[in-house]
A and B are shown apart, each in its own frame.
Chain A
Amino acid sequence: MRSLRFVFVSWKLQFKMIMRSPFDGIGNVIYPLFFATTAFFVFRAGSSPRTLVYASLGAAVMGMWSSVSTSAGSAMQRERWWGTLELLVAAPRHFSLILFPSTLGLATVGIYNLTATLLWGRFAFGIPLTIEHPPLFVLSIVATVLAFAGLGLLFAVSFVRFRAAWVLGNFFEYPVWLICGFLVPLSLLPTWVHPIAWVLAPTWGMNGIRESALGGTPLPDVLLCLGLGAVYVAFAVLVTNRVLDDARARGSLSLT
């Protein structure tokens, strides 16, 4: 119970910190909008039956992923610069529990990205916003946020080890955009890519969001998304111990 309370309080404070850095925030929201805009033009000029609404939803989730992928890796770097990383490690809680609210905060900001993309599509490109199952839509978004937080946690923890990895954080943006079915249906991708997509929660989050907006059965997707998120968190917990022991043995915690 105390852990849950800690996560809640910490999440609120992390979110506060993220929102208080305006340029980071604006940059984070605007950057994926460029890709969304490009996608809207491409789909509008294209001849496939896939609609602009499809593109709009896909681009919206691309934005949600951006928020996590670019910052989760550098979360650890920021703590190093601030001199707070050691304080976190020296605290009597499991390090992965301490980090989770940060990635959760980042994933929550993704909701701004989602909203901005949908609104941009609506007002700049006239893409209509009709949602078939609103409660399930909301549930899908929440599930995606949680799963992204879990995946972000795995990144953040892994990157404690590699101090230069804050640059690599950007590196995971494109691949997820490509293979998780945001703008490109899985059927168009080579078959060997499919299993990779299936173990990535964003794929199921996207499905859930799309089906609840356009009509379909989002619930299985939502559950898979949450399940995978839980698996990531479990991995992160396991990785944390090894990473921290390594950092403490090398003495790299105090380095920037």
Chain B
Amino acid sequence: MTVAGRIFFVGGLTSFRALFYWLTPWIYVPTMLIAPLFQILLFAYIGRSAGLESDEFYLIGNALQYAAIPCLFAMAQAIGGERYQNTLSAILVSPAPRIPLFFGRSLPVVVNGAFVAAFALFTGSLILGVHLPASSLAPLLLVVLIAALSCTGLGLVNAALSLRIRENAVLSNVIFGFLLIFTGANVPLDSLPSWMSTAAQGMPFTHAIEAARQLTAGASLGDVADLLVAELLVGAIYGVAGYALLRWFEVLSRRNASLEHS
């Protein structure tokens, strides 16, 4: 394996383990597996209470949107967690090439995010009694993976910003909140003011959620391909922006020693 490849896979996985020593089953199961089911149920019933859309609508919207939790928080932790352990500067003075370094951190985050969303989607469908057509199952997994990729791109931006902000959990929560409202997870885009639905086009999940809904309504993968491409594009733009921010902050920190946790 090339050096870059090793840094990408092995480095990513090792740092994941080092920083997530606190992620025991006691925390993982309630936070990543059970909480999204409650969010799905909450909005499915709110939908029933308000007389808007169907259970399936909220199932898909929230199962995907909840992936923001692992993608945003884990990414911020994967990069910002170093700061608290003061190992970040040790890594940054290393000659490791940056792209595989930062993006290697993303890999476990994406996989985890996809798993969380997929689990929520399928378990939620069982609980709510929503029938997902068999032909849509494999395409849905693809959509889930793409959604996780895309949101991890945003997660990279969040992680970069988190290095400069002390209370970075608040930032992640705020982003989560925006994704809840704007992406069509719970409110159909045409029920939102037009400026909001326009802004939503530039956010992760919007296209993926639409694609997933169309798939369960009977569309084929080909029909939603353009949505998936749009989703990947959004994620890629955030990813690049996040990477650029991280490099910029790295340069800045060399000038004024601001990267260590004070």
A contacts, CB < 8 Å to B: 23-24, 26-27, 30-31, 33-35, 37-39, 41-48, 50, 55, 162, 164, 167-168, 170-171, 174-175, 177-178, 183-185, 188-189
Check B254 for interface membership: any CB of A closer than 8 A.
no
B35 in the interface (beta carbon within 8 A): yes
Q: Are B27 and A188 in contact (CB under 8 A)?
A: no
Q: Is the CB of A47 within 8 A of B52?
A: yes
Contact of A188 among B38, B49, B176 (CB under 8 A): B49
Query: Is A31 a contact partner of B177 (Cβ separation < 8 A)?
Result: yes
CA distance A185 to B50 in the complex (A): 10
- Selected from A24, A171, A188, A189, the residue in CB contact (under 8 A) with B31 is A171
Closest 4 CB pairs of A and B: A34-B177, A46-B50, A48-B51, A46-B52
Residues of A within 8 Å of B186, CB to CB, are 38, 41-42
Is the Cβ of A42 less than 8 Å from the Cβ of B50? yes
List A contacts of B24 (CB < 8 A): 164
* Shortest CB distance B10–A (Å): 28
A residues less than 8 Å from B49 (CB atoms): 43, 48, 50, 183-185, 188
Q: How far is the CA of A31 from the CA of B34 in the complex (A)?
A: 20
Question: What per-residue 1/0 map shows which CB atoms of B21-36 lie under 8 Å from chain A?
Answer: 0101011001100110
In addition to A41-B186, A42-B186, 5 A-B residue pairs with Cβ atoms within 8 Å of each other are A34-B178, A42-B50, A171-B30, A174-B38, A184-B45
Q: Are B187 and A47 in contact (CB under 8 A)?
A: no
A27 touches B167 (CB 8 A): yes
Specify which of B30, B42, B181 is in contact with A167 (CB 8 Å cutoff): B30
- Tell me which residues across on chain A come within 8 A of B39, comparing CB atoms: 174
Determine the chain A residues whose CB is within 8 A of the CB of B187 once the complex forms.
38, 41-42, 45
Across the interface, which residues of B come within 8 angstroms of A185, CB to CB? 49
Give Cα A175 to B22, complex, Å.
Answer: 24
Q: Does B199 contact A (CB under 8 A)?
A: no
| Contact status B47-A164, CB under 8 Å | no
B31→A167 contact, CB < 8 A: yes
